[in-house]
Structure 1
Amino acid sequence: MKRITAIIRREKLEDVKDALELVGIHGMTVTDVRGRGQQMGIRESYRGMDYCVDLIPKVQIEVVVDSGDLEKVIETVTENARTGDIGDGKIFITDVLDVVRIRTGERGKKAI
């Protein structure tokens, strides 16, 4: 099993969520986060004064899937989160040793 953590633009959340549902991925955790990457923030102007916003608001989506679904999920997130501009986000993949459904005690793939 794999955990896929995608950090994407806020405005792309609904597109990614809907696309994941279409490929059969229903369970996910979504968190509002702030961060920065290579762009080192953005420079904006307000009432004639320039300032730098160095922690950009983003959305983090976490999904745990069977290893066989990994590439399908990566492709789906990438296609639906991409704008082509700096700041589109990142996807991180980590191994999951086990999953336990608290309500039933099911483990592994059954519990996803």
Structure 2
Amino acid sequence: MIRISDAAQAHFAKLLANQEEGTQIRVFVINPGTPNAECGVSYCPPDAVEDTDTALKFEQLTAYVDELSAPYLEDAEIDFVTDQLGSQLTLKAPNAKMPPKSLTMPR
């Protein structure tokens, strides 16, 4: 579903070290399937995990995805890139603005 590079995992692990114990990350899409879709990453404390969330376990962290966002995050990639201008987190989700496959397939 989502690929998180080693560099991004290390970046998140560093940030999570300063949070409440057990806090992980949440990856989500606001206005999914529309031209206004926006992806985001936030902290996900243990008490914010829902029964319907998908837990994606990585080497250094767990990423939670809510069931509404999940189909829109297929093939998403999160990376942490450093260049001469500095560092930045990138999130590419090619399906965020597309209707999910289950809605576009003919019956």
Task: State the TM-score, normalized to the length of structure 2.
Answer: 0.27
Larger RCO, structures 1/2 (Cα 8 Å, 6+ apart): 1
Q: Which has a greater percent of helix?
A: 1
Task: State the TM-score, normalized to the length of structure 1.
Answer: 0.27
